[in-house]
Amino acid sequence: MNFLYDVFVEPLASGGYLFRAMFAGSLVAIASSMIGCFIVLRRMAFLGDAISHSMLAGVVGGYLLMKLIAGEEAHFGAMIIGALLAGFVTVLLIGFVSRASRIKDDTAIGIMYTGIFAFGGAMASVFSSEIHVDLMHMVMGDVLVVDAERLWMMGAVTAIILFVVILFYRQLQLTSFDPIMAASVGVSAPLVGYLLTACTSLVVVSAVSIVGIIQVVGLLITPAAAAYLLCNRLSSMLVLSAALGVSSVVLGVYASAWLNIGAGSSIVMAGTLQFMVILILAPHNGLLAGTLRRWNQVPQHVVEDVLGCLRRDETHATRLETIRAHVQATPATLRRVLQRMVAMSLLDQTPQGFILTEFGNHEARRLMRAHRIWETYLQRVGMPEDSLHDRAHLLEHLNDEATVDYLDDRLGHPTRDPHGQEIPEDFIDLIPGAEVKASLLRDGRRGVITAIAGSHKHDQVAIGDVIIAGPREMEDTIWTFRLPSGVELHLDHDSADQLTVRLADPNSERQEN
């Protein structure tokens, strides 16, 4: 108990300034993290840094104006208003440059804020005899000596930010996630952007006088980024980022008391440490979770290689040694893949070896069809015969059924690959009751015509006719169909594509035959 008292109570009992520092820092953290969530979602983290630096010109301008006009030294209100105006001017110039040229936002921010910051530095240098601004205080801040005036100001700013976020929550949410949808429902993304920029400028300018440039940027971005790793909903992200910001302030103030270091540095370090812990341990988006997820995944190409190996093996059950000889994978990976394939019902493990299940056989046939269509396509485009298999073996893993169907159609639905082996029919689409083009029908398939397109020979077929596919002729370029009346049609690829048929059930066909 004495240890806990010495660590947590004794520093606070030594003076009320730590309470005041924690309270002031928490107000800054709440306002900053609220706005920071939208900045992180819009990928505009650089903007807060730009505004905080460009405000130097406004501070110098406000200082000079009150000194020359009213003779007042370091008028706080004038410097705040000047800094706020400098932030607005910076944002307007950034928007103008990015819209009026091909330069992207990040480049425009880099150009404008450094230019305005340099202008402020030049003014401070030229009027150095008139201006007495503590630049180190501006950069690093000193939350331990915050006075009542700045505390009230930060409280008012925090209340304004909370009011704006609650009042315009829907508009900010829409424009942050989907600006096009926001425009379609009448929400002006540019106006909401200007509102967010105004709030960012207000927070940065107000907070810099309390915590300094470095801290305000850290409190603006780091808690929001940490909350982004933990939350999938914006409302949760806002609450959690505020909590993380406050906790980094409390931890930082305690650390400054324990280690006798500057409060500004310790708050930033606490926020960064907090972020790193979350980055590593976040349940879904953390590094550890990602590593475990990748570790548990099995390489898809190894799965498909195993399917191909079992499909080609003519024995009833494929032994593990045979799979190892034909599949390129480490023993640990192969063992993990086989376990996962058994769990996915692709394989059955028996004492004699591995056997394809019905689902596994279906996937193996799909791969074999893709492989042989890719081989046929590569031969048509002129690839050497000895490279066809290896290149098709790589392409079959693309696992895109639409691409394979497109190639099949462009090739004229070939029935044999370059090695003379049969290419399986499109069994994915050829299911009883499905409407397909007649060109997909293989020998013996039957269907009812449901549509006739183009200038087909209407005098030979009509909607409702039953056609039975016959063998292809002239090197697979002519489709033959037999009508119940005995008439036989001879159609090329384009003509066969003009007929849409509803596929009959092969089982009922066999019963009728």
Distance CA 250, CA 12 (A): 11
Q: Determine the pLDDT at residue 1.
A: 60
- pLDDT, tens digit, for every residue of 178-233? 888 888 888 888 888 878 877 887 888 788 777 777 678 888 889 999 999 999 88
Q: Determine the pLDDT at residue 140.
A: 62
DSSP 185: T
Q: Determine the pLDDT at residue 458.
A: 53
User: Quick one: how many helices (H) and strands (E) in the chain?
Assistant: 22, 8
Percent of the chain with pLDDT over 90: 10
- Please name the helix (run of DSSP H) or strand (run of DSSP E) that holds residue 350, with its range, or none: strand 347-350
Contact 138, 212 (CB under 8 A): yes
Nearest to 502 by CA among 439, 438, 452: 438
pLDDT band at 489 (very low <50, low <70, confident <90, very high): confident
Q: Determine the pLDDT at residue 237.
A: 92
Distance CA 201, CA 88 (A): 7
Query: pLDDT: is 255 or 75 the higher one?
Result: 255
Query: pLDDT: is 371 or 294 the higher one?
Result: 371
- pLDDT, tens digit, for every residue of 341-378? 888 888 888 888 888 888 888 888 888 888 888 888 88
Distance CA 472, CA 489 (A): 11
Q: What are phi and psi of 93, to 5 degrees?
A: -65, -40
- pLDDT, tens digit, for every residue of 301-345? 788 788 888 887 877 788 888 888 888 888 888 888 888 888 888
**Average model confidence (pLDDT) across the chain:** 81
Apex CA 286: angle with CA 282 and CA 289, to 5°?
95
Q: Determine the pLDDT at residue 168.
A: 92
Distance CA 369, CA 395 (A): 12
pLDDT band at 91 (very low <50, low <70, confident <90, very high): confident
Farthest CA pair distance, the chain: 110
Q: Determine the pLDDT at residue 3.
A: 63
What average pLDDT does range 454-464 have in this prediction?
A: 68
Q: What is the 3-class SS of 411-454, one letter each residue?
A: CCCCCECCCCCECCCCCCCCCCCCEEEHHHCCCCCEEEEEEECC
**What is the residue-wise DSSP string for 8-40?**
IIHHHHT-THHHHHHHHHHHHHHHHHHHHHHHH
Q: Which residues contact 309 (CB under 8 A, 6 or more apart)?
A: 318, 322, 323, 326, 327
Contact 481, 489 (CB under 8 A): yes
Percent of the chain with pLDDT over 70: 90
What average pLDDT does range 488-510 have in this prediction?
A: 78
Distance CA 203, CA 84 (A): 9
